[in-house]
Amino acid sequence: MFIHETAVVDEQVEIGADTKIWHFSHILKNSIVGKGCSIGQNVVVGPDVKVGDNCKIQNNVSVYKGVTLEDDVFCGPSMVFTNVFNPRSAIRRMDEIRPTLVKKGASLGANCTIVCGVTIGKYAFVGAGAVVTKDVLDQALVVGNPARQTGWMCECGEKINDDMVCSVCGKDYQWLNDVNDNSGDDGIVFVDLAAQQKKILPDIEANIRAVLQHGKYIMGPEVKELETRLAEFVGVKHALTCSSGTDALIMALMAYGVGPGDAVFTTPFTFIATAEAIRILGAVPAFVDIDPGTFNMSVEKLETAVLEFKKDYPSGLTPRAIIPVDLFGLPCDYDGINKIARDNDLVVIEDAAQSLGAEYKGRSAGGLADIGCTSFFPAKPLGCYGDGGAIFTDLDEIAEKLNSVRVHGKGSDKYDNVRLGINGRLDTLQAAILLAKMTIFPREVQKRRDAAQRYTRVIEGLQGGGGVVVPGVFDGYKSVWAQYSLLAKDGEMRSRIQERLKENGIPTAIYYPTPLHLQTAYQDLGYKKGDFPVSEDCAGRIFSLPMHPYLTKKEQQRIVTAI
């Protein structure tokens, strides 16, 4: 320990071994300074302050009461802490101190100011001259006044590039998992929207603020920008955002004039919205059973169904369209489906509510048929913070109709109504949120694929494959893994596995417990048990594991062990 003769150290102060205190510095009473610290010139610490081990406090810094520095904190020269938020000289507020915490390894640049009451995360980096007014995440880099996050920093003090690998020390941060691993040991969630939000919060906040400032809440500039980016992402000419995935399907059917007297082929193994959109327009869903390997509509069965339908025209219905569903994020076999559609003069509407980000033979889901519909429901691969959806097409005429249907069937304006329409717009705030999410979406898609691959590898390594069937992967298909779904041997085995996982704090879900032809609301269609045996069999024994881009290897290992 070294204390320069001009320094003042009060009573009841603890100073650790190997700590040096230089000229004119003052350590006030009841303060603790750890081992191996360097306290520069003209520094004030305390009273009642705790400074961890190996901290460096440069010249002219006052670490006031209320401030806590963990180990390895660097305070640059002349940086400033405060401890009263709204000081007035004439009003005594020393009993209103707001505590400030600087976590392990953080660096506070020269001349920066840390407004009291904030927490600076582990290994965070505050740029020189920044004014920090709110909490800084672990390993975040913040600059400016007020300080905003512009990136992430490695423990070694270098910026981390987009691959989450430090270009200098080579440390692989593996996405967010290791950067901010707050998942603990019991925090497995089915879809982790909080981890995603943590990663992009500054962008989301900035985008929302921009909307609040310009005030164009309906069809604001963010909606146009999002549509441009979505069209580019999917590789189609037109992307029209809308109020939900369900409305996307309804609007697509409306644009093609599907209604009473029409039949639409679709799968009974999907979310209710697919068939609901058909029925709400007065058309009739004609169900086609699925392929047991993909859970998607079987092309062979579709071909048979179309032929049979034409042969006996059971109820005088006109077949108009096919709505295949890319279930769990895996695209259907569109070469097969589109050919049947062409041969029979049917429109194909891709229900891509779960598959945005997926690929089929090098083309993007959403753009695999005449028209594609997706959903931005929060739990979908690309979700907003409410309801939202989008429709994709290359056809100008259909895009124009959709544009009209979306706003009450408008003609030259919304008070000139040329067709039946709905209020089907996406609101500007949701567009702003989606724009922030889109920047990390491609990376998230890759992370989902990595997680699915890990699940499959580890489950297949279990004795007897864990008694479950893992989802297939197929040449030319790249799923976006909206769900990772397993088939148990039977319903009883499924219940036992789900129970076991639940005891271990692991949530599971069943998509979907009842095929649509057996739903109460659809009884009038005249279907019965046994009509679609593959869908019924899958519904009886399928279940899904937690799946999101922020799932760690450790978490997956825990989940599989419980199986």
Ligand X SMILES: *Cc1c(COP(=O)(O)O)cnc(C)c1O
What residue ranges bind ligand X (CB under 6 A)? 244-246, 270-271, 273-274, 325, 351, 353-354, 375, 377, 387, 389
Minimum Å distance from CB 226 to ligand X?
16
Q: Which lies closer to ligand X via its Cβ, residue 82 or residue 355?
A: 355
Say which residue the tokens 């961890």 belong to. 52
Buried b (16+ CB within 10 A) or exposed e, 55-74: bebbbbbbbbbbbbbbbbbb
C-alpha–C-alpha distance, residues 192 and 185, integer Å: 15
Other Cβ atoms within 10 Å of 464 Cβ, number: 6
Nearest to 78 by CA among 111, 107, 102, 106: 111
Tokens of 352: 């891509």
CB of 380 to ligand X, least distance (A): 6
Instruction: State the nearest-atom distance from the C-beta of 319 to ligand X, in Å.
Output: 21
Closer CB to ligand X, residue 256 or residue 271? Answer: 271
C-beta of 465: minimal distance to ligand X in Å?
Answer: 28
Nearer residue to ligand X within complex by CB, 203 or 351: 351
Q: What is the DSSP string of 251-272?
A: HHHHHTT--TTEEEEE-SSS-T
3-class state of residue 359 by DSSP: strand
> Which is nearer to ligand X, 21 or 255 (by Cβ)?
255
Measured from the CB atom, the residue of 236 and 325 that comes closer to ligand X is: 325
Please answer whether residues 20 and 57 qualify as being in contact, where contact means their C-beta atoms are separated by less than 8 angstroms. no
Q: Which residue is nearest to ligand X (CB)?
A: 245
Contacts of 269 (CB under 8 A, 6+ apart): 290, 295, 327, 512, 515, 516, 532, 534, 535, 538, 539
Beta carbon of residue 350, minimum distance to ligand X (angstroms, whole number): 10
Q: Burial, 89: exposed, middle or buried (Cβ in 10 Å; 0-12, 13-18, 19+)?
A: exposed
DSSP H or E run through 21:
strand 20-21
CA dist 371 and 469 (Å) reads 33
Tokens representing residue 512 in the block: 């979907």
Count of beta carbons in the 10 Å neighbourhood of residue 400: 12
Beta-bridge partner residues of 51: 33, 69
| Interacting residues of 76 by C-beta distance below 8 A, sequence separation 6+ | 58, 107, 108, 109, 110, 111, 112, 128
Least distance CB 360 / ligand X (angstroms): 16
Report the first-to-last Cα separation within the chain, whole angstroms: 56
Q: Are 70 and 51 in contact, with CB atoms under 8 Å apart?
A: no
CB of 379 to ligand X, least distance (A): 8
- If the CB atoms of residues 81 and 441 are measured against ligand X, the closer one turns out to be 441
Q: Report the residue number, 97 or 384, with the smaller CB distance to ligand X.
A: 384
Q: Which helix (H) or strand (E) holds 493?
A: helix 491-503
Tokens 């009883």, located at residue: 492
Of 82 and 267, CB closest to ligand X: 267
Closer by beta carbon to ligand X, 245 or else 421: 245
Output the smallest distance, CB 182 to ligand X, in A.
Answer: 29
CA–CA gap between residue 490 and residue 352 (Å, rounded): 29
Q: How far is the CB of 516 from ligand X (least distance, A)?
A: 11
Q: CB 122 → ligand X: shortest distance, Å? A: 38
User: Least CB distance from residue 429 to ligand X, whole Å?
Assistant: 16
For residue 469, the minimal CB distance to ligand X (Å) is 21
Minimum CB–partner distance for residue 351 and ligand X (Å): 5
Q: Which is nearer to ligand X, 287 or 377 (CB)?
A: 377
| Cα atoms found within 13 Å of the Cα of residue 446, Cβ hemisphere only | 6
Closer residue to ligand X, CB minimum distance, 207 or 244: 244
CB of 422 to ligand X, least distance (A): 13
Q: Which is nearer to ligand X, 116 or 226 (CB)?
A: 226
Q: Which of residues 3 and 510 has its CB atom nearest to ligand X in the complex? A: 510
C-beta closer to ligand X: residue 370 or 387 = 387
DSSP β-ladder status, 14-15 and 32-33: parallel
**What is the C-alpha to C-alpha distance for residues 466 and 34, in angstroms, rounded to an integer?**
52
Spatial contact of 337 and 298, defined as CB atoms under 8 Å apart: no
Q: At what angle do helices 334-344 and 299-312 cross, to 10 degrees?
A: 20
**Residue whose entry in the numeric block shows the structure tokens 């604001």:** 220
